[in-house]
Amino acid sequence: MTTPGRVAVSPTKLDTWQDCRYRYRLQYLEKRRVDGSWAHLSMGNAIHAALRDWFDVDEEGRTPAAAADLVRGNWTALGFRDDAQSTGWRENAAAMVERYCTRYGSAAPYSRERTLGAIAEHVTISGRIDRLDEHGDELVVIDYKTGRRVPSDDDARVSRALAIYALITARSLRRPAFEVRLHHVPSGVVASHRHTAESLARHLSRVDAIGRDIAAAQESGQDTQFPPSPGPLCGWCDFRDACPASGIVPAQPRWAGLPAADPTD
């Protein structure tokens, strides 16, 4: 959804711009195809899909074991070293989700995987929000995390993505949205933060400033505006084959982003 004079951004797009403009160009301007996937993304996608679909199951069948089965049903082996590793992690992820739903299954989400948007001076912002819960008049933003790191309240406080989700929720749905939460599915830890109108305005102002920079670079038509930024993230980059700077950092195996304990080891 691009409005003339504004650049379309999302939390992921903003991160990519700030991590590496060369990658931004390949991914969003040239729209290069990406071959393959990463095991941790395959696992994350299956967990997200299960937690999205589980609340649609009728009340009688909405058991934690049914949530585990949804993980199995949404599983793909893309990015895993071999079938044994994939199967081990599939069962590990199913157990994680079963534990999570045992603990938090009484929730009644207002919406799941909902894409919302908002317009600012230099940007149109969109984002897909894992879950919104209703607390009185307010909507609470929930983002599922499936990675190895357990988030803290400070992570929720500084998360640009969560702030954007709160902003676009409030603007699109015309409901107050200040509370943001990270639900770490593997550990069951919930990290939370309550924004204020001022803290959300600061986030929006920073996003708008980045949008202005992106628009200026795009309108310049100069490749020099999109230099590579080689660093540790190159090991995880999907565009290594098209990048002259990628050789500085070795490529990570496609399963390197999985949590530390490998159930097949």
Q: How far is CA 50 from CA 93, 143, 150, 182, 183, in A?
A: 10, 14, 20, 17, 14
246 belongs to the binding site for ligand SF4 (CB under 6 A)? yes
Among 66, 140, 161, 234, binds ligand SF4 (CB under 6 A): 234
x-or-dash pattern for ligand SF4, window 192-221, by CB under 6 A? ------------------------------
The distance of closest approach from Cβ of residue 20 to ligand SF4 in the complex, given in angstroms and rounded to an integer, is 3
Residue 227's CB is within 10 A of a number of other CB atoms, namely 12
Question: For residue 161, how far is the Cα from the chain centroid?
Answer: 8
Q: Which is nearer to ligand SF4, 199 or 252 (CB)?
A: 252
32 belongs to the binding site for ligand SF4 (CB under 6 A)? no
Indicate the burial class of 247 (C-beta count within 10 angstroms; 0-12, 13-18, 19 or more): exposed
22 belongs to the binding site for ligand SF4 (CB under 6 A)? yes
230 belongs to the binding site for ligand SF4 (CB under 6 A)? yes
Q: Which is nearer to ligand SF4, 152 or 225 (CB)?
A: 225
The distance of closest approach from Cβ of residue 22 to ligand SF4 in the complex, given in angstroms and rounded to an integer, is 4
13 belongs to the binding site for ligand SF4 (CB under 6 A)? no
Q: Which is nearer to ligand SF4, 76 or 252 (CB)?
A: 252
243 belongs to the binding site for ligand SF4 (CB under 6 A)? yes
23 belongs to the binding site for ligand SF4 (CB under 6 A)? yes
Q: How far is CA 234 from CA 130, 158, 231, in A?
A: 27, 24, 6
The CA distance from 243 to 239, in Å, is 6
Give the total of residues touching ligand SF4 (CB under 6 A): 14
Q: Which is nearer to ligand SF4, 61 or 227 (CB)?
A: 227
Q: Which residues have CB under 8 Å from 71's CB, separation 6+? A: 46, 47, 50, 90, 93, 94, 97
Q: Which is nearer to ligand SF4, 101 or 234 (CB)?
A: 234
Among 7, 20, 51, 180, binds ligand SF4 (CB under 6 A): 20
Indicate the burial class of 23 (C-beta count within 10 angstroms; 0-12, 13-18, 19 or more): buried
Among 41, 215, 233, 256, binds ligand SF4 (CB under 6 A): 233
Interface contacts to ligand SF4, rule CB under 6 A: 20, 22-23, 228-230, 233-234, 237, 239-240, 243, 245-246
